C-alpha cells in the first residue's frame, strides 16, 4: 500500500514566459516520503497525512488548512 502524504510546493524560480511567480504556492497529495525536497522550480515540503489529520481534527482538510499545518510542522509560520 502506498503511503499518501500532503505537500506544499513553493515556487522559487519561474520561467519568464510562465504564469507562475516566485513565492506562489500550492498543496496536494503525494507518495513522496516526509521531508524537504528540491524541485525543478522551487521547494516541496512533505508531511505525513496523519499529522495534518490529527492537528486539523478532520480527514478532509482544505487547502489553507493543509498549508498552515505544513508550515507549522517545519516551523516556517
Q: Where are the domains of the chain?
A: 5-73
For the full predicted model, state whether its pTM sits above 0.85. yes
* Per-residue confidence (pLDDT) for residue 77, from 0 to 100: 77
Element at 9 (helix H, strand E): strand 5-11
* Per-residue confidence (pLDDT) for residue 38, from 0 to 100: 94
Q: What sign for the dihedral angle of Cα 8, 70, 6, 33?
A: positive
pLDDT (tens, 9 = 90+) of the chain, 77 residues, equals: 577 999 999 998 877 667 778 889 999 999 999 999 998 889 999 999 999 999 999 999 999 999 999 999 999 97
Q: What angle do CA 26, 30, 36 make, to 5 degrees?
A: 70
With cell 519561474, the residue in question is: 14
Amino acid at each position: 500500500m502506498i503511503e499518501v502524504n500532503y505537500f506544499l510546493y513553493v515556487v522559487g524560480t519561474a520561467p519568464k514566459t510562465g504564469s507562475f511567480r516566485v513565492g506562489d504556492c500550492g498543496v496536494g497529495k503525494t507518495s513522496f516520503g516526509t521531508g524537504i525536497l528540491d524541485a525543478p522550480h522551487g521547494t516541496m515540503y512533505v508531511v505525513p497525512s496523519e499529522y495534518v489529520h490529527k492537528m486539523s481534527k478532520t480527514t478532509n482538510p482544505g487547502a489553507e488548512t493543509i498549508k498552515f499545518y505544513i508550515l507549522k510542522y517545519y516551523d516556517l509560520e
